[in-house]
Chains A and B, each alone.
Chain A
Amino acid sequence: MKRVSSVQGKAIPIDRVNVDTDQIIPAKHLKRIERTGYGPFAFEAWRSDPNFVINNPAYTGAKIMITRQNFGSGSSREHAVWALEGLGIEALIGTSFADIFRNNSFQGGLLTIELPEKDIDYLMARAEELPDSEVIVDLPSQTVRTADGQWERHFEIDASRKHRLQHGLDDISMTLEDEVGITEFEKQRTPLKPSTLTVTESA
């Protein structure tokens, strides 16, 4: 996993609630077997509207996306995270995120920062009015602030997640360090649980 410390950049406002992962990356683009190359298809249907914010050149190069309630709802497709990364987004700041999307974002080192609605209202309006104004997400101090230093908020993040992000730790390697614990657990699992390898009578 890549190391994540702080993100500074322009913020692009997506002022819609319940943005589902079908909008972020439509199913027809899930047939590829790579992890990269999804950026051009991000928000494909909405981008066909020339007025959609992503088409606004004022936001070119934005690294932060301001979002609303339940962003990333629906399908578990991690391709949604890969698509946002393909757009150059490194941090999302929103009211709430769908659970699976939030987990997937973490896996890719894409920050999902939750703030109260009134703070999102402020950041959304600011991003809409001042596309060039930059926002800073600082992971070590757990703060979001405007680059001019006029506005600052604290955010919460699980300590172990923060640690893993800051050190770019690979989740799988970390888990495999507890090989003994997993093996011990397996020994005391009830033998009643099904195996997919046992011979089955063809139904």
Chain B
Amino acid sequence: MTQPKTIIEKIWTEHVVDRTGQDSHSELQQLIYIDLHLVHEVTSPQAFEGLRLASRKVRRPDLTLATVDHNVPTIGRDQPNPDPLSTQQIEVMRQNALDFEVPLFDIFDIRQGVVHIIGPEQGYTQPGMTIVCGDSHTSTHGAFGALAFGIGTSEVEHVLATQTLRQERPATMSVEVTGELGPGVTAKDIILAIINKIGVHGGIGHVIEYRGEVIRNLSMEGRMTICNMSIEGGARAGLVAPDQTTFDYLRDRPHAPQGKDWDHAIEYWSSLATDEGATFDREVVIDGSEIQPYVTWGTNPAQSTTVDGRVPDPETVPTEQRESIERALSYMNLNANVPIREIMIDRVFIGSCTNGRIEDLRAAAQVANGRQVAENVGAMVVPGSGLVKQQAEAEGLDVIFKNAGFEWRDAGCSMCLAMNPDILLPGERCASTSNRNFEGRQGPGSRTHLVSPAMAAAAAIAGHFVDVREVIS
């Protein structure tokens, strides 16, 4: 009888190119085959240049897809881009796609968008695949039961040239979320709760499988939000085993298998789930019924508390944490013991690969509907892709947002990392649905609080954090 395996081990083993060493733990590094390589303008120019210098080609353009998302403007796209460096980077992406025959979703393509939104949207992202991209949030694709992780530019070049990657076999970690989620609590709150528990370094060296009733009951979009932020818990990747929810999402997507292939695919995908009796290197269990809406107060995604909580007091925490909390509070300009609900905000950003999908916009619109953004608060909604934008407009969400005083923008990474003109001013405080509250992440001196889309919309209207459950009930 074969030994029970986790989904992580199954996908890994299936992709090891050198089959002789497939179950060997003695050699840490193994060459694995990559099924899909997503490329964007910021981390690829030096990789394509490397290919040129070595007279190499892209081995599998048919397993490669490029888009422009990180530094594209989200407004005035018919005007010349005011930033010459961004313009150059976008031009270089175009030229590289052309020269190396890589398909590109360019800026006026309706399918353009944040790279981790468009893969699933088009049905490119499927269970059992290995997916890489020069972006740490590639873990998003794990929601489909794929092994998906971010890589650096040299590794991008390696994948372009060989369609393989040399990687260390990952350790495995189970994060089980049990019970039933309370009303108004979302996938974003779950992942913030998980990171709060394991810490920003907790997942180093591991791939996480998210399991349990709460995860099973989430939509694909919710699962994507969770897997997206695996890297914020230090994990190499995160995934959810495919099930009927996955299959229903994929059916009839432009690149999903069709006809007889679909039936074969379902059979294969169904075989991927972790076998009964398989063991993980580490296991964490979280009671889902206790998760509340979360707000980060610090400068990493683990520095968070629930909406009815308070900013921590450095005097009452263990000494080893004191310095980093003091530093975070100083940067965030927050006093100890201040209730989260009393923190006033200047800006709101709804979007990103974490929370820029249609369900996210619906959740925010539900809160915004018939209400007004507070005076002195600037709020913007940036759909994750051209197709998300189109869908939202078909549902009238754009009208709801605009009537409430939100700006309605074109698709891109936008204020998540502020590489385009969407940037906070020094000292500005933002309720953001993105994934990182690092110092300076949304612009030099910017102060970021991570929240769910509904919580962000509620904060936009109140001008400070509020419990969204009280707004929508």
Q: What is the CB-to-nearest-CB distance from B415 to chain A, in angstroms, rounded to a whole number?
A: 11
Describe A's contact surface by its main secondary structure. loop
Query: Which stretch of B120-128, B175-183, B461-469 is in the interface?
Result: B120-128
Given A196-B63, A196-B64: A16 and B85 interface contact (C-beta under 8 Å)? no
Q: Is the CB of A197 within 8 A of B61?
A: yes
Q: Is the CB of B54 within 8 A of A104?
A: no
- A123-165 toward B: CB 8 Å interface, digit per residue (1/0)? 0000000000000000000000000000000000011110000
In the complex, which residues of chain A have a beta carbon less than 8 angstroms from the beta carbon of B164?
A: 175, 182
In the complex, which residues of chain B have a beta carbon less than 8 angstroms from the beta carbon of A171?
A: 154, 158, 166
User: Does A112 reach chain B (CB closer than 8 Å)?
Assistant: no
In the complex, which residues of chain A have a beta carbon less than 8 angstroms from the beta carbon of B254?
A: 200-201, 203
User: Does B261 reach chain A (CB closer than 8 Å)?
Assistant: yes
Q: Is the CB of B152 within 8 A of A172?
A: no
User: Does B367 reach chain A (CB closer than 8 Å)?
Assistant: no
A108 and chain B: residue at smallest CB distance: B154
Query: Which stretch of B285-293, B393-401, B436-444 is in the interface?
Result: B436-444
In the complex, which residues of chain B have a beta carbon less than 8 angstroms from the beta carbon of A23?
A: 438-440
Report Cα–Cα, A122/B85, bound state, in Å. 44
User: Does B324 reach chain A (CB closer than 8 Å)?
Assistant: yes
Q: Is the CB of B33 within 8 A of A22?
A: no
In the complex, which residues of chain A have a beta carbon less than 8 angstroms from the beta carbon of B378?
A: none
Q: Is the CB of B152 within 8 A of A181?
A: no
Q: How many residues of B contact A (CB 8 A)?
A: 86
In chain A between 168 and 203, which residues have their CB closer than 8 angstroms to a CB of chain B? 171-172, 175-176, 178, 181-182, 185-186, 189-190, 192-198, 200-203
User: Does A27 reach chain B (CB closer than 8 Å)?
Assistant: yes
In the complex, which residues of chain B have a beta carbon less than 8 angstroms from the beta carbon of A69?
A: 201
Q: What is the CB-to-nearest-CB distance from A187 to chain B, in angstroms, rounded to a whole number?
A: 12
User: Does B135 reach chain A (CB closer than 8 Å)?
Assistant: yes
User: Does A166 reach chain B (CB closer than 8 Å)?
Assistant: no
Query: Which stretch of B43-51, B214-222, B274-282, B347-355 is in the interface?
Result: B43-51
Q: Is the CB of A45 within 8 A of B444?
A: yes
A31 and chain B: residue at smallest CB distance: B85
Query: Which stretch of B2-10, B24-32, B310-318, B334-342 is in the interface?
Result: B24-32
State which of A27, A33, A159, A160 has its C-beta within 8 Å of the C-beta of B419.
A27
Report Cα–Cα, A87/B376, bound state, in Å. 42
State which of B123, B157, B204 has its C-beta within 8 Å of the C-beta of A98.
B204
Q: Is the CB of A31 within 8 A of B419?
A: yes
In the complex, which residues of chain A have a beta carbon less than 8 angstroms from the beta carbon of B129?
A: 193
Q: Is the CB of A203 within 8 A of B136?
A: no
State which of B122, B126, B149, B166 has its C-beta within 8 Å of the C-beta of A200.
B122
In the complex, which residues of chain A have a beta carbon less than 8 angstroms from the beta carbon of B64?
A: 196
Q: Is the CB of A203 within 8 A of B201?
A: no
User: Does A58 reach chain B (CB closer than 8 Å)?
Assistant: no
State which of B17, B65, B126, B200 has its C-beta within 8 Å of the C-beta of A185.
B17
A32 and chain B: residue at smallest CB distance: B85
Q: What is the CB-to-nearest-CB distance from B112 to chain A, in angstroms, rounded to a whole number?
A: 12
In the complex, which residues of chain B have a beta carbon less than 8 angstroms from the beta carbon of A31?
A: 42, 71, 83, 85-86, 88-89, 419
B165 and chain A: residue at smallest CB distance: A175
Q: Is the CB of A158 within 8 A of B29?
A: yes
Q: What is the CB-to-nearest-CB distance from A172 to chain B, in angstroms, rounded to a whole number?
A: 5
User: Does A96 reach chain B (CB closer than 8 Å)?
Assistant: yes
Q: Is the CB of B205 within 8 A of A175?
A: no
Q: What is the CB-to-nearest-CB distance from B107 to chain A, in angstroms, rounded to a whole number?
A: 16
Given A73-B201, A175-B162, A176-B162: A100 and B152 interface contact (C-beta under 8 Å)? yes
Report Cα–Cα, A182/B158, bound state, in Å. 13
State which of B28, B88, B157 has its C-beta within 8 Å of the C-beta of A33.
B88
Given A33-B49, A172-B56: A28 and B231 interface contact (C-beta under 8 Å)? no
A106 and chain B: residue at smallest CB distance: B154
- A55-94 toward B: CB 8 Å interface, digit per residue (1/0)? 0000000000000011001111111010000000000000
Q: What is the CB-to-nearest-CB distance from B5 to chain A, in angstroms, rounded to a whole number?
A: 18
Q: Is the CB of B56 within 8 A of A20?
A: no
A35 and chain B: residue at smallest CB distance: B46
In the complex, which residues of chain A have a beta carbon less than 8 angstroms from the beta carbon of B17?
A: 178, 181-182, 185
State which of A22, A30, A192, A193 has its C-beta within 8 Å of the C-beta of B439.
A22
Q: Is the CB of A74 within 8 A of B63?
A: no
Please name 5 pairs of A and B residues whose Cβ atoms are closer than 8 Å in the assembled complex, sorted by A.
Answer: A23-B438, A33-B88, A74-B438, A76-B43, A200-B254
A residues adjacent to B (C-beta < 8 A): 16-18, 20, 22-23, 26-28, 30-35, 45, 69-70, 73-79, 81, 96, 98-100, 103-104, 107-108, 158-161, 171-172, 175-176, 178, 181-182, 185-186, 189-190, 192-198, 200-203
B residues adjacent to A (C-beta < 8 A): 17-18, 27-29, 31, 33, 35-36, 42-43, 45-46, 49, 54, 56, 61-65, 70-71, 83, 85-86, 88-89, 92, 103, 110-111, 122-124, 126, 129, 134-136, 149-155, 157-158, 161-164, 166-168, 200-201, 204-205, 231-232, 234, 236, 254-257, 261, 264-265, 268, 300, 324, 327, 387, 417-419, 436, 438-441, 444-445
